[in-house]
Structure 1
Amino acid sequence: MSSTGPATPRYVITMATLIFTIAFLVIGLPAGYALGWPWYATVPACLVAGAIVGAIAYKGWKSSQ
């Protein structure tokens, strides 16, 4: 993608999902461990939450175009 060109939908959905997934992992893993959840419950929950919020962010971006 050119830095001066418009963002493509693929770029937006990839970056939104990646950013929110990392954020959920950074916040969710310590919180999950503090609650006594095992990693195999916390990590998939964070991945799913990141994908869902990334899709919501993409829909918001697309509707503003």
Structure 2
Amino acid sequence: MKIIADTGRCVGAGQCVLTDPEVFDQTEDDGTVIVLVSEPEGEAADHARDAVHICPSQALSLVE
């Protein structure tokens, strides 16, 4: 599984970072998402799926 982040859609809400700060971070200037682990495994993959579902701007997606 691979995480795809559309930084153009990201509104910087930070829900992804709250879901798993080891997988996601935010830029300091505008808070857009940074994917730290593009291909998470195990529990991190579960957290990534959660982050995709709760992202308010739908800026995250997964490719299985």
TM-score interval (norm. to shorter): 0.3 to 0.5
Higher share of residues assigned helix: 1
- Between structure 1 and structure 2, the one with the greater Rg is 1
Q: TM-score, normalised by structure 1?
A: 0.34
Higher share of residues assigned strand: 2
